[in-house]
Amino acid sequence: WAAGKFSGAAIGKFCKEIDLDGQVTARKIVIPGYVSQISGELEEALPGWSVMVGPQEAGDLESYIKTIQ
């Protein structure tokens, strides 16, 4: 995906670089449905976080978020 730039390890590294833990209180991250196969790798890269697979299209995010709240 995206020449290796969109992998669980890359996302986990970025989240640590920007200190995402220190910026949010909820430990939940939603990834696009098209890349659901990286969810396991992302869970390993971000221990303590809940990795959720969202809809494939961004336009469906609003209704998805309503279902998980």
Fold of 2-68: Rossmann fold (3.40.50)
Q: Where are the domains of the chain?
A: 2-68
63: pLDDT confidence band, cut at 50, 70 and 90?
very high
> What confidence tens digit (pLDDT) does each residue in 5-39 have?
789 999 999 999 999 999 999 999 999 999 999 99
| Segments in the chain forming alpha helices (H) | 8-17, 39-45, 61-68
In 12-25, which positions are buried (b, 16+ CB within 10 angstroms) versus exposed (e)? beebeeeebeeeee
Task: Write down the pTM of the prediction.
Answer: 0.82
Token pair in block for residue 56 = 């494939």
Q: How far apart are CA 61 and CA 53, in angstroms?
A: 11
Is the pLDDT confidence value at 3 over 80?
A: no
Q: How far apart are CA 28 and CA 38, in angstroms?
A: 15
Output the pLDDT for position 48.
Answer: 95
